Amino acid sequence: MSISKDITISNKLGLHARAATKLAILATEFEASITLIQGEKQASAASVLGLLMLESGIGKVITVKAQGADAQLALDAVCKLINDKFDEES
């Protein structure tokens, strides 16, 4: 089963190192394979370097795709983290 959802990066600094690390740690908690897609680029949510290569800034729309046993849980958790601005103050 593969599911996806479009979401807008809303934190001030975008998908920077600290946010990418938080996302990668979260992604490893699930059996599902989680991929972030922005335009022509895509990266595994478990790869900090891959996430940084997306160069996702504030206002960018990305697609979060999850595939596997707990895909829905993984998708919901990743989207929550992004919507919560990676738990940053701004």
| Structural domain total, the chain | 1
Catalytic residues: 16
Contact status, residue 68 vs residue 30, Cβ threshold 8 Å: yes
CATH code for position 57: 3.30.1340.10
Global model pTM greater than 0.85: yes
Q: In sequence order, what are the beta bridge partners of 34?
A: 66
Structure tokens at 58: 């504030």
In the DSSP assignment, the letter for residue 59 is T
Q: In sequence order, what are the beta bridge partners of 64?
A: 5, 36
Tell me how far apart the alpha carbons of residues 63 and 75 are, in angstroms, rounded to a whole number: 10
Q: What range defines the domain where residue 20 resides?
A: 2-87
- C-beta neighbour count of 31 within 10 angstroms: 10
- pLDDT tens for 31-83 read 999 999 999 999 999 999 999 999 999 999 999 999 999 999 999 999 999 99
